Amino acid sequence: MTWFGKILTFVVLVGSILWMFLTTQAFVARTNWKKRADDYKAAYEEVVKARESEYRRGQASEDSLKRLLLAETTKSTDALKEVESLKNATVMINNQLATLQENYNKEDVKATKLQANVDNSLKELDTVRKRTNDLENEAVALVLATEAAKKEEVKAKNQARLALAIADDNAKKVEELALKVSELRASGGGGAQAQVLRSVTKPPPPVLGNLRGQVTNVSGELLTISVGIDSGMAVGTVLDVIRLEGGGKYIGTVKVTSALNLFPKQAIVTFTPARRDIPMDRLPIGDLPKSGDQVRPPEALTGGR
The reported pLDDT for the residue numbered 31 is 86
Cα 155 to Cα 148, 263, 268: the distances in Å are: 10, 13, 20
Residue 257 CB-half CA count within 13 A: 11
Q: Does residue 252 sit in the same domain as residue 124?
A: no
**Alpha-carbon span 170 to 229, nearest angstrom:** 12
Please give the pLDDT value at position 174. 64
State whether 240 and 277 are in the same domain: yes
Residue ending a domain, among 175, 202, 229, is: 202
Q: Are residues 185 and 58 in the same domain?
A: yes
Distance (Å, whole) CA 270 – CA 278: 17
Is residue 91 located within the same domain as residue 210? no
224 and 216 Cβ atoms separated by less than 8 Å: yes
What domain count does the chain have? 2
42 occurs within a structural domain? yes
Cα dist. 214→18, 34, 189, 254, 256 in Å? 169, 156, 41, 12, 15
Same domain? For 145 and 213 the reply is no
Is the residue at 1 inside a domain?
A: no
* Same domain membership, residue 275 and residue 177: no
Same domain, 240 and 198: no
Give the burial class of 198: count Cβ atoms within 10 A of its Cβ; 0-12 exposed, 13-18 middle, 19 or more buried: exposed
What residues contact residue 293 under an 8 Å CB cut-off, 6+ apart? Answer: 214, 215, 241, 242, 243, 251
Q: Are residues 148 and 263 in the same domain?
A: no
Show which of 160, 186, 202 is a domain's final residue: 202
**Would 34 be classed as within a structural domain?**
yes
pLDDT in tens, the chain (305 residues): 687 788 888 888 888 898 888 888 888 888 888 888 888 888 888 888 888 888 888 888 888 889 999 998 898 888 899 899 899 989 999 999 999 998 888 888 888 888 888 888 899 888 888 888 888 788 777 877 777 777 777 777 776 677 667 666 766 776 677 677 667 666 655 555 555 545 545 567 777 778 899 999 998 889 999 999 888 899 989 999 999 888 889 999 999 998 888 898 999 999 999 888 888 888 888 889 999 999 999 864 444 44
- For residues 162 and 109, state if they share a domain: yes
CA separation for the pair 297, 237 (Å, rounded): 9
Residues 180 and 228 in one domain: no
3 domain residue, yes or no = no
In a domain, residue 121? The reply is yes
pLDDT of residue 305: 47
Phi-psi region of 279 (alpha: psi -120 to 50; beta: other; left: phi over 0): beta
Residues 115 and 233 in one domain: no
CATH number of the domain at 288, please.
2.40.10.410
pLDDT attached to residue 201: 52
Mark which of 202, 221, 253 sits at the end of a domain: 202
* CA–CA separation, 298 and 295 (whole Å): 9
Written as one string, the DSSP assignment of the chain is --HHHHHHHHHHHHHHHHHHHHHHHHHHHHHHHHHHHHHHHHHHHHHHHHHHHHHHHHHHHHHHHHHHHHHHHHHHHHHHHHHHHHHHHHHHHHHHHHHHHHHHHHHHHHHHHHHHHHHHHHHHHHHHHHHHHHHHHHHHHHHHHHHHHHHHHHHHHHHHHHHHHHHHHHHHHHHHHHHHHHHHHHTT--THHHHHHHHHSPPPPPPPTT--EEEEEEETTEEEES--GGGT--TT-EEEEEE-GGG-EEEEEEE---GGGB-SS-EEEEEEES-TTS-GGGS-GGGS--TT-EEES-GGGTT--
- Domain with 35, as residue range(s), is 13-202
Q: Answer yes or no: is 275 within a domain.
A: yes
Question: Is 23 within a domain?
Answer: yes
Q: For residues 18 and 161, state if they share a domain.
A: yes
Q: Is residue 58 part of a domain?
A: yes
